[in-house]
A and B are shown apart, each in its own frame.
Chain A
Amino acid sequence: MTKQFRVLYKVTIIILAILAAMLIGSIILMTIGADVFKTYRVILFEPLKTTLQLTEVLIRAIPLTIIALGISVAYRSGIINIGGEGQMAMGILGTTAVALAFPELPKPILLPMAILAGAMAGGVWGFIPGILRAKLQVSELLSTVMLNYIAAQIYTFMLRGPFLDPAELTMGSGTPQSMRLSTGIWLNRFLKGTRLHTGIFFALFLALLIYLLLWKTNYGYKMRAAGASARAARYGGISVTWYLVIAMVISGAFAGMAGAIEIAGVHRRAIEGITGGYGFSGIVVALFGGLHPAGIIPASFFFGLLIVGADMTQRMVGVPANMVNVLQGVIILVIVATKMILADPYLMERVWRKYQGIGKKHVEVEA
């Protein structure tokens, strides 16, 4: 098998995969009678046209990066965390609780405390499925989904009850939201006229942290070993169950921090619908970014673009914003299938033989 053939084979498969994903998306778009090319153009390029839209893309990319980093830690340790949504909601509650309890504290104390509270609340929400999987073999796929629904209910309960804005009670518009949080937890918006906040540097810092953790420490090595081959890792003296739990706690803490950053930077109060699918999009970002911080950062920008772009399609081409979920679902399916195709040596061998066969026939004809 020649080297050129290997490269050609892989590139062809990746191109086919992208085409397949776009084709499936197009089928849905054609069903609703939308202009396929125009829709893709709006989703992919329209948000890049103005600075304001571009910063909105970056704002979406911040929580996506943080959640995806956590999910890739879990994924690499052999546990799939689809509970990002719930962990983020719990993180928001933790941050809000601290911000409401100590509004007078100065920023250098309150802000780290609030983010830490968010991380801890999310971490606890990740610990539950982790320990259930480690000790009782409960599938984390089901337990994290259930914890998402539970967290969503706790979240609305807190917003309607203990955290409800006192002004809402007197005014009586009935919007379930907390009061505006103390300025002590506000992240600076450093670009005038936009909402872009310093959380972006925090996200980049976390990406570096995860890179160092996974590839430069003993801990990370053991986690990756546990995920790559649980049996071999156990034989090598690594306590696989312990690292599963740790990975889930980290994963949950990251989703919690994403929530903390989101309210400290964007909303500055807890309102309904903040999580809005970030937990699920984070999975797509993590997979698309190859479960590596260096890939996750561009991937989260790309999916931030899709989310902002999909918001614009409603207005510009009449395609509902839900289209972004369709695309994300298709992208997951295509990525996991493509990964398996690329990793299948037998298939490559077969294609190679066929390729050679074609070559031989040509030779015979020429002779």
Chain B
Amino acid sequence: MNFIVNILSLGIPFSVALLIASLGEMFNQRAGVFNLGCEGIMAMGAFLGMLVPYSIGQGGPTSGMYNVLGLGLAMVVGALLGIFFAFVVVTFRAPQGIAGIGLQMFGVGTAGTLFRHFIGGTQSVPGIGNFPIPGLSKIPFIGPIFFSHNVLVYLAFLFVPLAWYILFKTPWGLRVRAVGTNPRAADSIGIQVNKVRYQALAVGGALAGLAGAYLSLAQVKMFSDEIIAGRGFIAVALVYFGHWHPVKIMGGALLFSLAQALQLAIQGQGINFPYEFAVMLPYVLVIIVLAFSRESQLLGPTSLGIPFNREKRI
């Protein structure tokens, strides 16, 4: 029983970075843009999130405020990178897959360059501590599993219904889905297709930045070049796996992080299993999941990956 509680209470915080980034990617893809640069934006977010508390906070009694500032900076720069990506793939209609690789290299490279200049070596930050919810965290089993995490964990799971509400119940969500499904029809009723795509990429970028900052501030509490370790790409895969729906995406994120927690727990039990094979498990899982969810791709936004050209006659 204790073993299960351990895995669940470990796995839930692990899922947060994936969950936030995939929700952002979901908005991108619902608007018809495939943003493979998520990994790069996350790297920038991870660096910037840590930079603020590291350079001006340095512990201190008010370090909480610097953490918030760091998260905010990560989101702002993430949104700017999303807009930059939109400039390339929406305005100039560049092919999104290869442009995404460009953004990924740019983001990871920039984060690494700035990190070496401003921070240098392996430095840790106090980061965001756990905040057990009074009362609820004392409930046996349920308490440690659900109510003894840092604030961002609770927030991330609140994002799920919020993202659902925004996507399916607000006019903006309807516009996002319209430009991703049939941009020509959306255009004909006066929706500015490219503007909505810009907005969706800004939102997706901000969330990817936040996801990165979560890693450096709350999960690892330091920055390294390999901090993202493909989570940005896994987040993109989760959007396919989750059928572009927030709740299913949450399920996917939990599945992945619980698999990871299980692997760590098994290692902790001292079972002799090559470490490298344990590390590669999530990546193998992504390929398997993608291979067995091909029908689901029919449910995706029909204009995903297709740039909109108003002047083009069909």
Range for the number of chain A residues in contact with chain B:
35 or more
A-B contact count (CB 8 A): 147
Question: In the complex, are the beta carbons of B94 and A329 less than 8 A apart?
Answer: no
**B230 to A, closest residue via Cβ:** A149
**B40 to A, closest residue via Cβ:** A329
Question: In the complex, are the beta carbons of A336 and B112 less than 8 A apart?
Answer: no
Minimum CB–CB distance for A180 against chain B, Å: 24
List chain B residues, Cβ under 8 A from A294.
none
Point out the residue from B88, B99, B100, B109 that lies within 8 Å of A324, measured CB to CB. Answer: B109
Q: Which of B85-144 contact A (CB under 8 A)?
A: 87-88, 92-95, 97-110, 112-114, 116-118
Q: How far is the CA of A136 from the CA of B291 in the complex (A)?
A: 6
Which one of A56-64, A138-146, A250-258 is at the interface? Answer: A138-146
Minimum CB–CB distance for A226 against chain B, Å: 17
List chain B residues, Cβ under 8 A from A318.
117
Point out the residue from B93, B113, B233, B312 that lies within 8 Å of A340, measured CB to CB. Answer: B93
**A347 to B, closest residue via Cβ:** B311
**B291 to A, closest residue via Cβ:** A136
Q: How far is the CA of A141 from the CA of B236 in the complex (A)?
A: 10
**B305 to A, closest residue via Cβ:** A139
The answer to the question of B169 belonging to the interface, with a C-beta cut-off of 8 Å to chain A, is no
Q: How far is the CA of A326 from the CA of B43 in the complex (A)?
A: 13
Minimum CB–CB distance for B210 against chain A, Å: 21
**A349 to B, closest residue via Cβ:** B311
List chain A residues, Cβ under 8 A from B191.
none
A147-B287, A339-B94 known; A322+B101 contact, CB < 8 A: no
Q: Which of B195-253 contact A (CB under 8 A)?
A: 225, 229-230, 233, 236-237, 240
The answer to the question of A173 belonging to the interface, with a C-beta cut-off of 8 Å to chain B, is no
Minimum CB–CB distance for B310 against chain A, Å: 9
List chain A residues, Cβ under 8 A from B106.
325-326, 329-330, 332-333
A142-B233, A146-B286 known; A28+B92 contact, CB < 8 A: no
List chain B residues, Cβ under 8 A from A136.
290-291, 294
Minimum CB–CB distance for B254 against chain A, Å: 19
List chain B residues, Cβ under 8 A from A157.
274, 276-277
The answer to the question of B185 belonging to the interface, with a C-beta cut-off of 8 Å to chain A, is no
The answer to the question of A42 belonging to the interface, with a C-beta cut-off of 8 Å to chain B, is no
Q: How far is the CA of A233 from the CA of B108 in the complex (A)?
A: 38
Point out the residue from B109, B112, B229, B297 that lies within 8 Å of A149, measured CB to CB. Answer: B229
The answer to the question of A69 belonging to the interface, with a C-beta cut-off of 8 Å to chain B, is no
Q: How far is the CA of A283 from the CA of B101 in the complex (A)?
A: 9
Minimum CB–CB distance for A270 against chain B, Å: 15
The answer to the question of B18 belonging to the interface, with a C-beta cut-off of 8 Å to chain A, is no
Point out the residue from A284, A322, A327 that lies within 8 Å of B112, measured CB to CB. Answer: A322
A132-B291, A139-B290 known; A153+B277 contact, CB < 8 A: yes
Chain A at the B interface: mostly helix, strand, loop or mixed?
Answer: helix
List chain B residues, Cβ under 8 A from A80.
97-98, 101
Minimum CB–CB distance for B170 against chain A, Å: 29
Q: How far is the CA of A340 from the CA of B89 in the complex (A)?
A: 10
List chain A residues, Cβ under 8 A from B158.
none
Point out the residue from B36, B108, B236, B287 that lies within 8 Å of A325, measured CB to CB. Answer: B108
**A343 to B, closest residue via Cβ:** B93
Point out the residue from B99, B110, B117, B286 that lies within 8 Å of A333, measured CB to CB. Answer: B99
B-facing mask of A319-347, CB < 8 A → 1, else 0?
A: 11011111111111100110111001010
List chain B residues, Cβ under 8 A from A32.
113-114, 117-118
Q: How far is the CA of A130 from the CA of B283 in the complex (A)?
A: 17
The answer to the question of A150 belonging to the interface, with a C-beta cut-off of 8 Å to chain B, is yes
Minimum CB–CB distance for A276 against chain B, Å: 12
Point out the residue from A142, A319, A328 that lies within 8 Å of B237, measured CB to CB. Answer: A142
20 A-B interface contacts by CB (under 8 A): A28-B114, A32-B113, A80-B98, A132-B287, A149-B229, A149-B280, A150-B283, A157-B276, A320-B116, A326-B110, A329-B40, A329-B104, A329-B108, A330-B102, A332-B98, A333-B106, A336-B88, A336-B92, A336-B99, A336-B102
Given contacts A329-B108, A344-B93, list 15 more A-B pairs with CB under 8 A.
A31-B114, A32-B114, A32-B118, A80-B97, A136-B290, A146-B230, A157-B276, A318-B117, A323-B109, A324-B109, A326-B109, A329-B40, A329-B106, A333-B94, A346-B312
- The interface of chain A, by Cβ under 8 A from chain B, is 28, 31-33, 80, 82, 132, 136-139, 141-143, 145-147, 149-150, 153-154, 156-157, 160-161, 280, 283-284, 287, 318-320, 322-333, 336-337, 339-341, 344, 346
Q: Which 5 A-B pairs have the closest CB atoms?
A: A325-B109, A329-B106, A332-B102, A329-B105, A322-B112
